[in-house]
Amino acid sequence: MGNKFIAGNPNLCIGCGTCMAACMMEHPPIDGVPIPRLALIKTRQTSVPISCHHCQDAPCVASCPEQALYYEGTRVEVRENRCIGCSSCVLACPYGAIEIVLTTSTKTIGGVVYQNSRKPYVLKCDLCVSKPEGPACVSTCLTKSLKIVDEASIKTSTQDKRVKAAQAAEIAASQFELA
């Protein structure tokens, strides 16, 4: 079972940020503030959203001393209650696809606040797993520059590339013979 993740095509991306807005609104706000889990990155030549690749040997999972990050099938998931906010996963992730934000949690007894504590919250792509129609960024992208990549689509794409290579080999061979 290969990994499943969202990949952007910079040739189609117009840098409008609809994916980020969709991501913000699809997930529950953090302390009342909606925050996106993918980042639209622009260099001079490229515009493309970056998000978690749900790697098969994920450095974030390996780096977490509390097993807050773990595999749910092929997906890298988070157990929020285990996170201690050490930022190891943030450092380990080669995509910069994880962020940790602090939320305020208030404990009360009989309506009286006895503790205001800050709790770390791991922000990363969850592939909109609770949404039956799939990731919101993919469905809202108006140029269809975002696609879900999974084992099946990788197989198809690999096969397509091999067929093209084979056709190219045939042309090369015929020209070699002519020469």
Enumerate binding residues for other proteins (CB under 8 A): 10-12, 14-18, 20-22, 24-25, 33-36, 42-47, 140, 142-143
Nearest to 84 by CA among 108, 100, 106, 60: 100
In the complex, the smallest distance separating the C-beta of residue 8 from other proteins, rounded to whole angstroms, is 13
N residues, the chain: 179
In the complex, the smallest distance separating the C-beta of residue 45 from other proteins, rounded to whole angstroms, is 6
Nearer to other proteins, 21 or 100 (CB): 21
User: Is the CA virtual torsion 70, 71, 76, 78 positive or negative?
Assistant: negative
In the complex, the smallest distance separating the C-beta of residue 16 from other proteins, rounded to whole angstroms, is 4
In the complex, the smallest distance separating the C-beta of residue 142 from other proteins, rounded to whole angstroms, is 4
Beta bridge partners of 39: 50
Say how many C-beta atoms besides its own lie within 10 A of residue 13's C-beta.
Answer: 20
- Cα(83)–Cα(65) distance, rounded to whole angstroms? 9
Nearer to other proteins, 27 or 53 (CB): 27
Nearest to 77 by CA among 119, 126, 28, 37: 126
Nearer to other proteins, 20 or 92 (CB): 20
Nearer to other proteins, 23 or 78 (CB): 23
